[in-house]
Amino acid sequence: MRYFILGFLNQRPMSGYDIKQFLEQFSWLIGSPSFGSLYPALHALLEEGLVSVDITARADKPLRKIYSITNAGRAALHEWLGQLTLSDAPLKSFVMCLILAENLSPAGLATYLHHRRDQVADHLTGLSQTVGTTDDALDLGQRLALDYGLAIATAELSWLDSTLAGLAG
Amino acid sequence: MRYFILGFLNQRPMSGYDIKQFLEQFSWLIGSPSFGSLYPALHALLEEGLVSVDITARADKPLRKIYSITNAGRAALHEWLGQLTLSDAPLKSFVMCLILAENLSPAGLATYLHHRRDQVADHLTGLSQTVGTTDDALDLGQRLALDYGLAIATAELSWLDSTLAGLAG
DNA sequence: ATGTGCATGTAACTGGTTACATGATTCG
DNA sequence: CGAATCATGTAACCAGTTACATGCACAT
């Protein structure tokens, strides 16, 4: 989360509210953190010198605290991104890192997406086997969930393939 | 989580290890709980009388604790399922409830899926608008995440439509 | 014999949510 | 004038992970 916030602020200076607003867009996919975790995280980053604040009291508007990343913050972010493994991470972790793509090198991004592609492909074959072998022993919920997983994995795989093709070309 | 486990045990008696195994299948989608949360949860359910244990010491095998749901557990589960709103829940919550579909009435399931359909459709139009209006102001990560969200939402929507059609027909 | 899979568990820690509290602005 | 949105924050609580600890079975 700390680094997730840091990655946002590396794109452009934002307030805590802005970050929440942006993430709200993806709430149906990955959820959105509460202010109760967002604000304390910003305070912690500030104390560690990884971000700085600019308190802007705009006329006729409530005060806003615009946070910017510092050099120390950038260093910490890139160190974190460097040692990022992401082995078998859930969809949520994948999307969170995807949003931070701007902070990765083109080669790093490609590697990351390839890695994910392989993982999803593995899970797809695993799911297909489960569906194929134990077809009638499954209850409704398991059948639906398996079927849903299959649909989503297929969609993600084709997205990864076309995105990788687009980035390469 | 408590109710998630309860829903599993309502389908068939299982050990903690079994539950983990099953959930592992969906780890790339929704993650899988650690034993450190699974076992204590089972102990708590046991103390509350919502589940019962059958300790089977099989010859030449390590001991297993097979948990079964009790009548009190079934009552608690159905009460919980009844007051389930799921307004604007993230994908993870949706899948978790989907797995418990067997415990819902056909009408309840249909309502639930319709509800999700509407939510996803809303988010889809929202995402499309964002992509359409602010196309060139976005950085790489945001563009990729938006694009990914669009792909997944589209896939989920069509899955929901065909599944709803299948359940109705 | 060594490692991997089965199978269970505990304790410390951490991260996040929930609920609360505040206050200005804008819209109907 | 009241409701919704903007905007920030705190504290108690809780759910979960991490790391540890144990032990048998089976294959190499």
A141 lies in a domain?
Answer: no
The band of B61, judged by pLDDT with boundaries at 50, 70 and 90, is confident
Among B25, B141, B149, the residue with its CB nearest the CB of A100 is B141
**Closest-CA residue in chain A for B87?**
A28
Residues of A in contact with B7 (CB under 8 A): 141
Q: Based on the domain organization, do B57 and B134 belong to the same domain?
A: no
CA separation for the pair A124, A137 (Å, rounded) = 20
pLDDT of residue A75: 95
Query: How many domains in chain B?
Result: 2
Give SS3 for B110: helix
pLDDT (tens digit per residue) in B125-144: 888 888 777 766 778 888 99
Tokens of A15: 């307030």
A155 lies in a domain?
Answer: no
CA separation for the pair A100, A103 (Å, rounded) = 6
**CA distance readout (Å), B126 to A28, B122, B130, B131, B132:** 12, 6, 6, 9, 10
A3 lies in a domain?
Answer: yes
pLDDT of residue B60: 65
CA separation for the pair A77, B68 (Å, rounded) = 47
Q: Based on the domain organization, do B72 and B147 belong to the same domain?
A: no
pLDDT (tens digit per residue) in A83-127: 877 678 899 999 999 999 989 999 999 999 999 999 899 889 888
Q: Look at residues B84, B117, B148 and tell me which one is the last residue of a structural domain.
A: B84
Number of H helices, E strands in chain B: 8, 2
The band of B153, judged by pLDDT with boundaries at 50, 70 and 90, is very high
Tokens of A97: 């890192």
CA separation for the pair B7, A146 (Å, rounded) = 17
**Closest-CA residue in chain A for B166?**
A144
CA separation for the pair B161, A148 (Å, rounded) = 12
Kindly determine whether residue A152 and residue B155, on different chains, have CB atoms separated by under 8 Å: yes
CA separation for the pair B40, B53 (Å, rounded) = 14
B91 lies in a domain?
Answer: no
B157 lies in a domain?
Answer: yes
Write the DSSP symbol of residue B88: T
CA separation for the pair B55, B94 (Å, rounded) = 33
Burial code (b: 16+ CB inside 10 Å, e: under 16) for A49-65 equals ebbbeeeeeeeeeeebe
Q: Based on the domain organization, do B75 and B3 belong to the same domain?
A: yes
Residues of A in contact with B126 (CB under 8 A): 25
B148 lies in a domain?
Answer: yes
Residue B32's domain spans which residues?
Answer: 1-84
Q: Based on the domain organization, do B120 and B75 belong to the same domain?
A: no
A135 against A106, higher pLDDT: A106
CATH of residue B31: 1.10.10.10
B10 lies in a domain?
Answer: yes
A40 against B131, higher pLDDT: A40
Residue of B19, B134, B148, B157 to mutate when probing chain A, most A C-beta within 10 A:
B148
Which range, of A7-21, A43-57, B50-64, averages the lowest pLDDT?
A: B50-64
The band of B59, judged by pLDDT with boundaries at 50, 70 and 90, is low
Q: Based on the domain organization, do B119 and B52 belong to the same domain?
A: no
Long-range CB contact pairs, B43-48, < 8 A, 24+? B44/B2, B45/B2, B45/B5, B45/B6, B45/B73, B48/B72
A111 lies in a domain?
Answer: no
Q: Please give the full DSSP string across A21-77, using - where no structure is assigned.
A: HHHHTTHHHH----HHHHHHHHHHHHHTTSEEEEEE--TTS--EEEEEE-HHHHHHH
Q: Residues 47-66 of A near strand D (Cβ < 7 Å)? A: 61-65
Residue with tokens 């946070």: A67
Query: Is A169 a residue whose pLDDT tops 70?
Result: yes
pLDDT of residue A135: 63
pLDDT (tens digit per residue) in A13-39: 999 999 999 999 999 999 999 999 999
A137 against B51, higher pLDDT: B51
CA separation for the pair B99, B26 (Å, rounded) = 10
- B62 CA, D25 C1': Å apart: 8
